[in-house]
Amino acid sequence: MRVLVTGGGGQLGRESVPALRAAGHEPIPLRHAELDISVPGTAERALAEHRPAAVLNCAAWTAVDAAEDQPDAAMRANAVGPGLLAAACAAAGVRLCHVSTDFVFDGSATAPMDESTPPRPLGVYGASKLAGEEEVRRRCPDHQVARTAWLFGRQGPNFVLTMLRLARERGALRVVADQRGSPTWTGSLAPALVRLLERGTAGTYHLVNSGEASWYDLAVATLEEAGLAGVRVEPITTAAFPTRARRPAYSVLDCRAWRELGEPPLPPWREALRSYLEPSSGR
């Protein structure tokens, strides 16, 4: 299967290329400079040129805080662009797998959220991603919306790489401990996305590594796995580390729809982190 990968220069897009090849498919990665899906007509031209059987949309505005100050740009990238791409895919008879986020939820849950949980984003970034989901569902019948969370991959930027850098620069860290989510390695997510494309079952899916953690938990585990356990990590509250955009306090995802396909759960996040930090991972 020939698969066009939008956002091919990002950490998930880059991870998806070898995952597709390993599964016997032909990836066509396109960076933002090669395909800006928010520009009318570009998606149609890319589909006509490359003639893929499916599209994996990894293109997105991911700067959560900056979205508060640039809402039009965030909406253009995360809602308008996916809508145009979905329409082009529908017209060409091409399957579309669109990657979304846990930020579509408001963080008020107290147990892992499955795909039936009503979304209620807290800020511009989450609202833009939810709008993108809705555009994809409305415009492309052969669609898959895959929500994921707390990504870390080889290229970065991401939280794990930031913790490693700061640990070496500062020797002590202060990390938020009252936000919980689903840390997810792109090396686990990309093969699952490929499998989802192969299954071809339309709908919304949560795809994250198993288990849950706080940012503090993830920081401590990162330093332990990297052999930097001597670096002191102090747990702090969200209030002690204010950000421009509000973050959901609890955004742990339950991959119920994935399990109902009969697919195995993604590995535990700590196991995935260990694999990510192994020298052979290419980090």
Q: Which residues form the catalytic set?
A: 125
**Tokens, residue 2:** 């020939």
Quote the tokens at residue 108: 């008020």
Q: Are 113 and 251 spatial neighbours (Cβ–Cβ below 8 Å)? A: yes
CB within 8 Å of 31: residues ≥ 6 apart: 7, 8, 9
d(CA 266, CA 10): 21
Residues 6+ apart with CB under 8 A from 199: 261, 263
Backbone angles phi, psi at 164, to 5 degrees: -65, -45
Cβ atoms of 175 and 235 within 8 Å: the answer is yes
Per the CB < 8 A criterion, the answer to whether 99 and 58 are in contact is yes
Name, in order, each residue with C-beta under 8 angstroms of 223's C-beta and a sequence gap of 6 or more. 163, 164, 167, 229, 231, 233
Q: How distant, in Å, are the alpha carbons of 52, 151, 160, 229, 268 from that of 200?
A: 14, 24, 32, 43, 25
How would you classify the pairing of strands 151-152 and 180-181? unpaired
Two tokens, residue 282: 């290419």
Cβ–Cβ under 8 Å, residues 151 and 11: yes
